[in-house]
């Protein structure tokens, strides 16, 4: 399995509090992604990174920000958590090109976040 | 990314072959077809990828007709452990933003 870890694995927080999720990789892959998964919606891309300090929005980026100061770490921050952000969050990485054809995405174990 | 349509769910029994068809009518010339599998409480993982005709690996086979407007993932002799969600994705080299959709939930019963 690809060396991807996510922390924390589980978190319960209250509405209005800031939350930061961490994704750490040991593969030196260029591309990193954050997805959320909710029942009936499959996986939806929140933000992605195509290099250190290079990030862009996905399809459900409102209420989320990201940062990537090192190749190995990609942080997802909920500035003020809301109940609608209760979800399972997956981090993924892909290789040098990041393209669908040339590189598959490898997923982390996920973080289950509950916002009360 | 080309839009894909696949069944929401499928039921099967142990030892049977499961075939999941994905429709992608607007597939482009440079697009490849990729399938991912997701077990409960885990992230998705790559199963198989193809461009045309047939691709087979140790896990599954992928059948792609000449017009490439659909594809079929075939899981031979499934077991209970094949119960998972299967996602069909279509895209090319530049599509590094994957779109997973809801996938097909395959339930294998004893």
**Rounded alpha-carbon distances, angstroms, from residue B49 to A43, A93, B40, B98, B106:** 19, 18, 22, 14, 19
- Flag whether B4 is in a domain: no
Give the structural domain span for B39.
9-109
Helix, strand, or coil here: B81? helix
Residue B2 located in a structural domain: no
DSSP calls for A39-66 = TTTEEEEEEEEEETTEEEE-TT-TTEEE
Which residues of chain A neighbour B95 with C-beta distances below 8 Å? Answer: 99-101
Q: If we measure between CA atoms, which residue out of B27, B35, B82, B69 comes closest to residue B55? A: B35
Count of domains for chain A? 1
Give B85's contacts in chain A (Cβ within 8 Å). Answer: 42
Domains in chain B, number: 1
Range in A98-102, A109-113, B86-90 the model is least confident about: A98-102
Taking the C-alpha atoms of residue A41 and residue A43, their distance in angstroms, rounded to an integer, is 6
Range of the domain at A62: 4-115
pLDDT in tens, B57-97: 999 999 999 999 999 999 999 999 999 999 999 887 777 67
Residues in chain A: 116
CB–CB contact B100 A110 (8 Å): no
Chain B residues touching A99 at Cβ < 8 A: 92-96
CATH number at residue B16: 2.60.40.10
B93 in any annotated domain: yes
Q: Do B98 and A42 touch (CB under 8 A)?
A: no
> Is B1 a domain residue?
no
CATH of the domain at A111: 2.60.40.10
Q: What would the pLDDT profile of A35-57 be if each residue is shown by its tens digit?
A: 999 987 788 999 999 899 999 99
Q: What is the pLDDT of residues B6-26, one digit of tens each?
A: 999 999 999 999 999 999 999
Phi then psi dihedrals of residue B105, to 5 deg: -85, 115
Average pLDDT over residues A92-112: 79
């Amino acid at each position: 399995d690809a060396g991807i870890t996510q922390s924390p694995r589980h978190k319960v927080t209250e509405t209005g509090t800031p939350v930061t999720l961490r994704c750490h990789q040991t593969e030196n892959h260029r591309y990193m992604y954050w997805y959320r998964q909710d029942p009936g919606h499959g996986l939806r891309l929140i933000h992605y990174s195509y290099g250190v300090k290079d990030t862009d929005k996905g399809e459900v980026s409102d209420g989320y920000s990201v940062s990537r100061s090192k190749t190995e770490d990609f942080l997802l921050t909920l500035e003020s958590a809301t109940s609608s952000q209760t979800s399972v969050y997956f981090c993924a990485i892909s290789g040098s090109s990041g393209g669908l054809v040339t590189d598959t995405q490898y997923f982390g174990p996920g973080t289950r976040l509950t916002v009360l | 990314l080309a839009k894909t349509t696949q069944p929401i769910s499928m039921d099967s029994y142990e030892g049977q072959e499961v075939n999941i068809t994905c429709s992608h009518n607007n597939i482009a010339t440079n697009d490849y077809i990729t399938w991912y599998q997701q077990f409960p409480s885990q992230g998705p993982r790559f199963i198989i990828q193809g461009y045309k005709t047939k691709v087979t690996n140790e896990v599954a086979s992928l059948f792609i007709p000449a017009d490439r407007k659909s594809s079929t993932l075939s899981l031979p002799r499934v077991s209970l452990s094949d119960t998972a969600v299967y996602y069909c994705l279509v895209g090319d080299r530049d599509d590094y933003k994957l779109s997973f959709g809801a996938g097909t939930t395959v339930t294998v019963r004893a």
